[in-house]
Structure 1
Amino acid sequence: MVYDTLNTLVEQFSSFVWGLPLLILLIGGGTYLLVLSKFLPFRYLGHAIQVLRGKYDNASDLGEISHFKALTTALSSTIGMGNIAGVALAISVGGPGAMFWMWISAIVGMATKFFTSTLAIMYRGKDSAGQIQGGPMYFITEGLGKNWKFLAVMFSFFGMLGALPVVNVNQLKQAINDIILIPNGVEVSFTSNLILAAILVVFTSIVILGGLKRISTIASKMVPSMVILYFILVLIILGINYTEIPKYFTLIFTDAFEANYIKGDAVFGGMLGALIILGIRRGAFSNEAGIGTAPLAHGAAKTNEPVREGLVAMMGPVIDTLIVCTLTALAILVTGVWETTSDNGVTLTASAFQQAIPGYGQYLLMICVFIFSVSSLFSYAYYGTKCMSFLVGVKNQHYYKYLYITSIVLAATTPFEMMINLIDGVFALMAIPTMLATLILAPKVVKEAKAYFKRMKQNNS
């Protein structure tokens, strides 16, 4: 009874904050940034790849980690359960059209990530220990001044909650239960979930207590390999079902405006409104553009050129949503499991893998799920710690790690719907200060970008 009441409250909270105003702030704001920059993310994609490959790395620049490690640290949080469980949830609730609105959030999100991560370097501040730090709370206080500190406090407070790994752990637990334990006759219970949580706690503690250097080193090794493995597996599924691809690819576009498959309540007087909000929510959960998490990682990059880091950051939504999420969506659609099963989240994706690659498919997905989840655990721990150190000082930040580790146990023993609604709602409250500050400071980013590309042109001539 208590759980049902709590679940209803969390669901109402999430639906309330994900209303029309937030949609306008994220998508309208992102579109404004795209136009303001004259579509800069698309014009300088080649240059962004050169920066990412290390062409402009300079060991003497300010910061802690390379451009590549900053992107992989950011990607290890964004390429995670949003791409496997989030996409599956979007399709099971909204149908194929939800994927189109996830694409829209990613295209607009490229501009948002460029601006927020450029600001993270432009306005780095010092923490209580005198260390240079970047992130929304610092570009709010350094860029907008002390009068705006309430926004920085708001971001940091909700950032601590948003960084808790509840969805990743919850879906990892579901994957282990549904893919490994139940098919092999092991009874799943509260005790088995607790044992799983204990193993994750030990594993996570070893890494997160080692700090950013260890997190970024591990992420830079894990993220590229897990993306390649996942990529190959989905291409095998699409290869087996290649005749279905044109049909479903077309359906993504047509259903985006017809909303024939959505389950749930109408928004803005129609099911299309509900579908748009669902797609944008799942897109935001997947690529985190405008939420403010990525600037926390990119703000630690070794560079004295803010625009370079912005260009590297904008690659995130491309890799995360336009490539990885699209692959997941097509795998779920072409195998037909979205219509033939009542599965949700990671279990739906596992059904697609098992149908296409019987006997092995779901176990191969399990490897990806494990790496996706565990790498996300590391990055989010870093994000939450930075938020807490801003609020209560560096000497007290270690308390967050204890809160974080405790939340792993909570997530392993709680149902999926409550966890995803909680994080959705908190992400929305993180997006408000991040986007407001970014929109106010946007003209300064445009000025910085013009100066940067002018210097580049002079150096190359």
Structure 2
Amino acid sequence: MEQLNLLSEKFSSLAWGIPLIVLLIGGGLYLLLISRFLPFRFFGHAIQVLRGLYDDPNDPGEISHFKALTTALSSTIGMGNIAGVALAISVGGPGAMFWMWISAIVGMSTKFFTSTLAIMYRGKDSNGDLQGGPMYFIREGLVKNWKFLAIMFSVFGMLGALPVVNVNQLKQAINDIILIPNGVEVSTSTNLIIAGVLVIITSIVILGGLKRISNIASKLVPSMVILYFILVLIILALNYTEVPKYFLMIFTDAFEANSLDTESHKDVIGGVLGALILLGIKRGAFSNEAGIGTAPMAHGAAKTNEPVREGLVAMLGPVIDTLIVCTLTAMAILVTGVWETTSGNGVTLTASAFQDAMPGYGQYLLMICVFIFSISSLFSYAYYGTKCMSFLIGADKKHYYNYIYILSIVLAATVPFNTVINFIDGIFAFMAIPTMLATILLAPRVVKEIKAYRTRLKNT
């Protein structure tokens, strides 16, 4: 198991080099500039679209703007917000959150472009059904010489959609919060039982297809965000004297990197500060997936004939996911002080914060959120994986992915957290390469579509 962990760590380090950072952040800034900061200027209009003011049931697609966003959020609002943030702070301290914010702000522009393209260049699968996502806008929008990027995205997309982090951390939460405190001895067989229950629940939902997934996500996502929001506000209220101090520390520590383990990051290009920036961007990408390419697969199924509208809805994802939910998690961990007093990371660290603020019941309330977050993510990722397999070998064979998916649930329950997070980090990096390259190449066409949409909007 130690060898597997070292291998996954090297894989992640190799994938997350300087070229990828330039592609993700530099590419995102380029998109933001050529759109003249449209995601921020049209924020109010995006809310109107999300509320359904422009919905037309006769438009092509499968689901509404709202359901497309909640389906995408059900995969991004999950363990990235609870375990990912906790891992970032346990390794990099408060300053890591600042670079997650930067990743999210730039990611708003990236999500706008990728999801607009997902509607502009929807293609048909082997069954003749309309589909969206990076592999389709690469195939439909670029010349045939670039098709290898679509294949690359789909291959890594099948791996990136495996729910290994969510399952691993849900298993850890059940063990740490429910089983161990009540005297239950945790073993491999216990973890396999947890995996078995998750397999049954997931199978019932994913076999129902996108409409069942989107219906469940549209009910679970808003309620889980509200519940989590209320719980963290209670923690912040109980520790209100610490809030200003740690909120300020997010900014100051972002450039000083006082809390980063300098020994383990001394060989990183850019020094300690470079390591902290890399950590924040990596965790930000894991949290909101901007530039990775999964969300456009959900947004590409939206009922609309206006690509820009879905792009505007998609850009709200990083706002909700990282700027709000991840910040709440970070502040809960920081103000309770558990990041300095406990050795845990991932969901265990977040659970410590809830238990510290609300002894006796705090961690159980978190368990409710963790369960809902994880389950909803399991549903959405299965949809992404089947779409990738459908593109590669045909829509009539996409159901085979469900067997791989279910097997990964069992494996994730028995593998260490560091192994699965490094594996997914590396896979996400290789998904981002084709997504960002194609998006940058097609960006001028999106800008042209923006101008056309603004003209149509003025004439209505």
The corresponding residue for 1:389 is 390
Shift of 1:300: 0.3
The corresponding residue for 2:130 is 132
The corresponding residue for 2:145 is 147
Q: Name which of structure 1's ranges 269-278 and 44-53 shifts more when overlaid on structure 2.
A: 269-278
The corresponding residue for 1:265 is 265
Match for residue 21 of structure 2 among 5, 20, 23 = 23
Q: TM-score, normalised by structure 1?
A: 0.99
Shift of 1:146: 1.7
* Mapping for residues 35-434 of structure 1, pairs under 5 Å: 35-263=33-261, 264-266=264-266, 267-434=268-435
Q: Deviations over 1:248-272 (max 9, x none)?
A: 0110000000001112213224100
Secondary structure at the aligned position of 1:65 is classed as coil
| Counterpart-to-counterpart distance in 2, 1:13 and 1:169 | 21
| Counterpart-to-counterpart distance in 1, 2:270 and 2:49 | 46
| Counterpart-to-counterpart distance in 1, 2:199 and 2:5 | 25
Give the counterpart letter for 1:107 in structure 2: I
| Counterpart-to-counterpart distance in 2, 1:434 and 1:286 | 17
Shift of 1:145: 2.3
| Counterpart-to-counterpart distance in 2, 1:395 and 1:134 | 17
Identity among equivalent pairs (%): 81
Shift of 1:7: 1.5
Q: Deviations over 1:120-147 (max 9, x none)?
A: 0000000000000000000001000222
Give the counterpart letter for 2:109 in structure 1: A
Q: Structure 1 segments of 4 or more deviating over 4 A?
A: none
Secondary structure at the aligned position of 2:459 is classed as helix
Secondary structure at the aligned position of 1:359 is classed as coil
Shift of 1:9: 1.3
| Counterpart-to-counterpart distance in 2, 1:403 and 1:325 | 30
The answer as to 2:5 corresponding to 1:4 is: no
Secondary structure at the aligned position of 2:127 is classed as coil
Give the counterpart letter for 2:423 in structure 1: L
| Counterpart-to-counterpart distance in 1, 2:270 and 2:278 | 13
Q: TM-score, normalised by structure 2?
A: 0.99
Secondary structure at the aligned position of 1:62 is classed as coil
Shift of 1:304: 0.2
| Counterpart-to-counterpart distance in 1, 2:338 and 2:8 | 29
| Counterpart-to-counterpart distance in 2, 1:455 and 1:288 | 31
| Counterpart-to-counterpart distance in 1, 2:134 and 2:325 | 26
Give the counterpart letter for 1:44 in structure 2: F
| Counterpart-to-counterpart distance in 1, 2:455 and 2:92 | 46
| Counterpart-to-counterpart distance in 2, 1:73 and 1:135 | 14
| Counterpart-to-counterpart distance in 1, 2:369 and 2:8 | 29
| Counterpart-to-counterpart distance in 2, 1:17 and 1:57 | 40
Q: How many residues align?
A: 457
| Counterpart-to-counterpart distance in 1, 2:159 and 2:330 | 28
Give the counterpart letter for 1:314 in structure 2: M
Secondary structure at the aligned position of 2:126 is classed as coil
| Counterpart-to-counterpart distance in 2, 1:78 and 1:402 | 23
* Mapping for residues 430-445 of structure 1, pairs under 5 Å: 430-445=431-446
Give the counterpart letter for 1:447 in structure 2: K
Q: Name which of structure 1's ranges 446-455 and 153-162 shifts more when overlaid on structure 2.
A: 446-455
**Any gaps of 5 or more consecutive residues in structure 2?**
none
